[in-house]
Amino acid sequence: RSSLGDRTRLLPEWYDGCMVPWCLYLSTIIHYAQELILDQDSYFPSFLRLHQVENEYGSYYVCDYNYMRHLRTLFHYFLGDNTVLFTTDGNTDREMTCGTLEGMYATVDFGTDVNISQAFSRQRRFEPRGPLVNSEFYTGWLDHWGDQHAQVDTQKVSRMLGEMLSMGASVNMYMFEGGTNFGYWNGWLNKLYQYFRNLSSLLDTLSPQGPVRSLYPLSFEEMNQYYGFMLYRTKLPRDLPEDTALISPLNGVHDRAYISVRGVFQGLLERDTTLVMNVTGKQGDQVDVLVENMGRVNFGSKINDFKGLLSNLILGNDVLTDWQIYPLDIDGAIASGWPQSGQRRSPPDPDRGPSDGPVFYQGTLPPNGLAWDTFLRLNEWTKGQVWINGVNLGRYWPKRGPQQTLYVPGPLLSPTQPNNITVLELERAPPHTRVLFMDRPLLNSTSGKTPQLQIEDRQT
């Protein structure tokens, strides 16, 4: 329901506080906004448009009215008068003071833990006339890896929504529908997988353009690689017969780095938590550092969230240099039919078991005449990414939790042809290397904490 007009189009708050990560660069934002606005003019010439100029800017650590005036001028220049500019901010005086500006309609956002009348009274102090608007009514909340699954009482959501609508308020439910993150955006048992032991042998497939050579590491953004993974490669500068510390002294690994020497997994470095690990080897041994982008911060003072190796790695007393940097297009390769399209693979060795470190596994789910929604569980797997029929379902991390399953929409599955499954396990797969397709999600189980599984209704 909207008191601001029936024909509106809203743009979301996404990755890094913006829809795409190149919004880290202001000039690119402005260029993109120009194209977007002109495109909307051609498709919706008679529409009354609402354009959100800023999202919760009052929560940012600066309070820059010149910045807000610049945005207002920019939007008016390109949009003209046939639009309504608005802002949304949290339900505090400080946030509303810093996030609003005359000439842009001020809205407020809040969830089920506040007094509705007080919240809208606060909006009225900053916007004396016009509709009451809760532009983000929090019907749910986000999960963090390692925390309990966030839940909001359904009856309370329903009651508060009814109260707001009875007041004539406009409400945008955030989120109305949700529950999974496809791609990189931070049942049945199938047969044993075949897997690829050596990631290095796959670089012609995953990085067809080859490496970029640089004395020092380059970030994802400098390599125009905004999602997923990049491989950094160099050589040991000297013999290391005993364990030698590999250090990220400035917390420069964003976000996880999987380290191998001569193809043998050594361990990992992780942002904020694991800044030191030990390696051994001989001078000239190949060092591979596979860096995973875990998704960008989209709120608060750390939204300039660059990825990759953002500072030098120190090995003992040596700074590692002379890097070959491979941007990896894993999604593109899998969408094109790899690895099922004839790539050499190694059958599992029951005596040796799964390898440590990054390994690709592939298998199939036989057709059974049905293509229903289902939920994929990778029980006893460690951490990684999974694709079905070329579509990136997202991350799994059952040991960290709370999410234990990934949503598989029915239309992704074929009822008549084998369904291809590809798994990139980053640390260690279980000996059975099987996955489970379930009729319900498991959303609330974390390592070291008492499971409180949120079981949804059975699929029909």
Active site residues: 56, 136
Give the integer Cα–Cα distance in Å for 7 and 84: 12
Residues 6+ apart with CB under 8 A from 221: 21, 22, 24, 306, 307, 308
Angle, alpha carbons 305-311-312 (nearest 5°): 160
Distances (CA, A) of 359 to 343, 354, 388, 429: 14, 9, 17, 9
Q: Where are the alpha helices (DSSP H) in 309-415?
A: 330-335
Tokens, residue 140 = 């749910």
- Per 3-state DSSP, the chain is made up of helix, strand and coil in percentages (nearest 5) of 20, 30, 50
Strand partners, 83: 49
Q: How many other CB atoms are there within 10 angstroms of residue 46's CB atom?
A: 6
Q: Strand 308-309 vs strand 253-254: parallel, antiparallel, or unpaired?
A: antiparallel
First-to-last C-alpha distance (Å) of the chain: 31
> Do the beta carbons of residue 171 and residue 119 sit within 8 Å?
no
Q: Strand 314-315 vs strand 318-319: parallel, antiparallel, or unpaired?
A: antiparallel
